[in-house]
Homo-oligomer: A and B are copies of this chain.
C-alpha cells in the first residue's frame, strides 16, 4: 500500500518517529472522511445530518435508553440533542415513552421508519468497514481496534466497553 515502511520488529522497544506518528494522524483525518461519506449522502437525501445519525445509531443499539444516557454517550448538551430528537420524533422515526418506574424519564425507541433509516445508514457504513477490513487483512483488524480503543478518552472508553455485545 505504498507506505509499508519497515516497523521496528521488537516487541518491547517501539521506535516511533515523529514521521510515523504524523502519518497516523493524517490517516485518521482522511479515513474519518471516508467513514462518514456514505451515511452523509443518505442523510442528505432525507434532510438529516450527522447528529441525527448518531442519535438513531445509539437508540438502535440500546432501545429504551433515556435521554440522559444518550447525552453522556454523545457528549453534547441537552438542548442540542433535544433539537435533533424533536425532529426525529415529529417525523415518526423515534418514539419517546414516559418511564413507568420514573415518570420523569423518557425512554427512546426506534419506530419501523426509524429502523428503516438506521438500516440504510448502518448497511452503508458496514459495507465500507467490511471492504476496508478485507483489504487490510485479518491481523490488521485486530490492531485497528486495539489502537482505537487505546486512543479513546477514559469516559468514552467506558461507554464503548459498556455497549453490550449482542452476542458476537
Chain A residues in the interface with B (C-beta under 8 A): 1-3, 5, 7-11, 14, 16-35, 37, 54, 61, 75, 122, 125-126, 128-153, 156-157, 159-161, 163, 165-168
Which residues of chain B come closer than 8 Å to A152, judged between CB atoms? 27, 30-31, 33-34
Which residues of chain B come closer than 8 Å to A8, judged between CB atoms? 138
Query: Is A149 a contact of B3 with CB atoms below 8 Å?
Result: yes
Which residues of chain B come closer than 8 Å to A18, judged between CB atoms? 126
Interface of A is mostly: helix
Closest B residue, CB atoms, query A161: B2
Query: Is A35 a contact of B151 with CB atoms below 8 Å?
Result: yes
Which residues of chain B come closer than 8 Å to A161, judged between CB atoms? 2-3
Query: Is B130 a contact of A150 with CB atoms below 8 Å?
Result: no
Complex A-B, nearest 7 residue pairs according to Cβ-Cβ distance, in ascending order = A143-B143, A140-B143, A132-B150, A19-B168, A31-B148, A135-B150, A144-B147
| A128→B148 CA distance, assembly (Å) | 11
Query: Is A3 a contact of B145 with CB atoms below 8 Å?
Result: yes
Query: Is B144 a contact of A148 with CB atoms below 8 Å?
Result: yes
Which residues of chain B come closer than 8 Å to A153, judged between CB atoms? 33-34, 37
Query: Is B22 a contact of A122 with CB atoms below 8 Å?
Result: yes
Distance in Å: Cβ of A49 to nearest Cβ of chain B: 15
Which residues of chain B come closer than 8 Å to A144, judged between CB atoms? 24, 27, 140, 143-144, 146-148
